[in-house]
Amino acid sequence: MADFSKQYCEKYDPDMTGDFDIDEVFDEMPISSFKPIICEGFGFFGLHKDDDGKRYCLFGDDWAHIPYEEITDETHLKYK
């Protein structure tokens, strides 16, 4: 089953209900942690909060760390 974040749905498919809220997941994560979670819409496979509390979405085989604020529905196309 595909999972889509609330943020993806609000921005790109408002008729669909999100399965999880990225902001809430990040709020629950401790500093310096990784959470395996997939958003089919944005195309990421995990979230990372670094030592400074900066938030990243993880893409591609090389685990590219893209700042959460910069992701779009096309970000995943750059990372395979």
Query: What does the pLDDT look like over 6-64, one tens digit per residue?
Result: 999 999 999 999 999 999 999 999 999 999 999 999 999 999 999 999 999 999 999 99
The 55-59 sheet, strands edge to edge: 33-39, 44-49, 55-59, 64-67
Residue 34 lies in a domain: yes
Residue 1 in this model has a pLDDT that exceeds 70: no
Residue 48 lies in a domain: yes
Q: Tell me the C-alpha distance between 80 and 69, whole Å.
A: 20
Range of the domain at 39: 6-78
Residue 67 in this model has a pLDDT that exceeds 80: yes
Q: How many domains does the chain have?
A: 1
pTM as predicted: 0.92
Q: Which residues is 39 bridged to in the sheet?
A: 44
- How wide is the angle at C-alpha 6 spanned by C-alphas 5 and 11, nearest 5°? 100
**6: buried, middle or exposed (CB in 10 Å: 19+, 13-18, 0-12)?**
middle
